[in-house]
Amino acid sequence: MKNKADNEGVTQMMLSYNLMGGESYALVNDVDEYYGRLETLLDDIKQGKGESCNYLYFAFVTLASATLEYSLNLMLALHCFRKFHVPMYEEHLQAFLDIKFAPKIEITPEIVSEGKYSIKKDVPTLQQLKELVDKRHSIMHNSKAVKVQKFDSPNMGGCVLDGKICMPVDSLNDDGTLDFHFESKDNAITTLKAKWCLRMGDAILKYRDYVVNPYLTLFELKENELLELCN
């Protein structure tokens, strides 16, 4: 059922309505709000705006991850709301919400179809979405990026004399500076590029079209590029 939310459009919702009056329940579906903003951001990246505003790549990771996770949680909430009703649905739903993000991408179709359909294990879309989740984790939980890095330094013939560092003249630059090099791992945020974001964007939109939207609109899934019948 659709309910007018404001002057800008409508909000979709699932209702459990008491025709005799009294307590009724609604599950609001705001998935289009997420995907609308995600597609706008992808358009900006396609137009090359990320080259001068590289924060768009970081924004993509956070918005794309939030969009995908909201979609999965909404599918699971709708499944429990329809199957178990109030108040029992909350207990069942919480167990599903506690599933970690990456496995949830794979298992949600099987849960909402009650074991009838599963996502194909060899499709690039599944691997790309897991890659997105890994990238999100490395950026948002980046403790590894601040660890002290060990490296081997060359012997430059220096020593400490009377509390001062002394270096052979021929090891210094003309301006008295000293050069040395070591390799460090890139921080995850510096690895974000437009091409990668667009590839991840294609994956999440395909998951929307073949998994999320069919269930949220028709309450059912069917075989397609991403889904197959369970054995």
pLDDT digits (tens, 9 = 90+) for 130-172: 999 999 988 887 666 566 667 676 666 777 778 777 777 777 7
Cis preceding-peptide flag for 87 (omega within 30 of 0): yes
Other Cβ atoms less than 10 A from the Cβ of 96: the count is: 19
Structure confidence at residue 112 (pLDDT): 96
Q: d(Cα 205, Cα 209) in Å, to the nearest integer? A: 6
Structure confidence at residue 13 (pLDDT): 57
Note the helical H segments in 85-225: 88-97, 101-112, 124-140, 194-207, 213-218
pLDDT band at 10 (very low <50, low <70, confident <90, very high): very low
Q: Which range in 57-61, 79-83, 141-145 is most confidently predicted, on average pLDDT?
A: 57-61
Structure confidence at residue 26 (pLDDT): 81
pTM of this structure: 0.78
Strand partners, 25: 16
Both structure tokens of 22: 């009294």
Q: d(Cα 144, Cα 120) in Å, to the nearest integer? A: 33
In the three-class reduction of DSSP (H, G, I as helix; E, B as strand; rest coil), residue 191 is classed as helix
Strands (E), 25-111: 25-29
Which residue has tokens 């997420």?
Answer: 34
